[in-house]
A = this chain, B = another copy of it.
Amino acid sequence: MTEKAEFPVSKVRRYLEPGPIVLLSSAHRGQRDIMALGWHTMMEFTPALVGCVIAADNHSFELVRGSGECVLNLPTAAMIDTVVGIGNTSGMEVDKFEHFGLTAGRGVNVDAPLIRDCPVNLECRLADASLVERYNFFIFQVMRAHAVPQPEHHETLHYTGDGVFMVAGGTVSRREQFRPELLD
């Protein structure tokens, strides 16, 4: 894969707002895990906030709650079988990095491992846990973003339930129809 560069955290909507499945990696007290996650939303540009639902029966739930950190990694559509495998195994039983042949990388702002095989890695710290008890809803601040410079838009997986994914790839620009203040 192309070498990644630092990417402005204020622009991570580019990767998250389209709603792809992401891989959330975390570590705590000698354990690490990866989960597939489709229930997330952008919440603010600056600070860059992302809300994520992490089901409480997921092994990652305790690692994220305990460490207050995670990395959101963007898998491409070509990684579909890895994504499905990650979503259908438990971190209580297997080390998912080893099991799926993924390479852990070191973050700058967090101790949670990056998944180097993904073209985009977002280092996150837990910013607001007030809805964790009630909805398993974690609000993270993206502290640092790493992305391959090209392509700007990756072919991504969008989960619909029942084992079926939509694939997003092609882009359409309507830039000329936007009010200037709505453009980056």
Q: Which residues in window 1-36 of A have CB below 8 A to B? A: 11, 13-15, 17-20
Report the minimum CB–CB distance from A183 to chain B (whole Å). 5
State how many copies of this chain the complex holds.
2
- In contact, A84 and B161 (Cβ under 8 angstroms): no
* A contact face: mostly helix, strand, loop, or mixed: mixed
- In contact, A39 and B41 (Cβ under 8 angstroms): yes
Q: Which residues in window 81-109 of A have CB below 8 A to B? A: 81, 84-85, 87-88
- In contact, A17 and B171 (Cβ under 8 angstroms): no
Q: Does A40 contact B (CB under 8 A)?
A: yes
Point out residues on A near B: beta carbons under 8 Å.
11, 13-15, 17-20, 38-44, 49, 51-53, 77, 80-81, 84-85, 87-88, 130-131, 135, 137, 139, 153, 156-179, 182-184
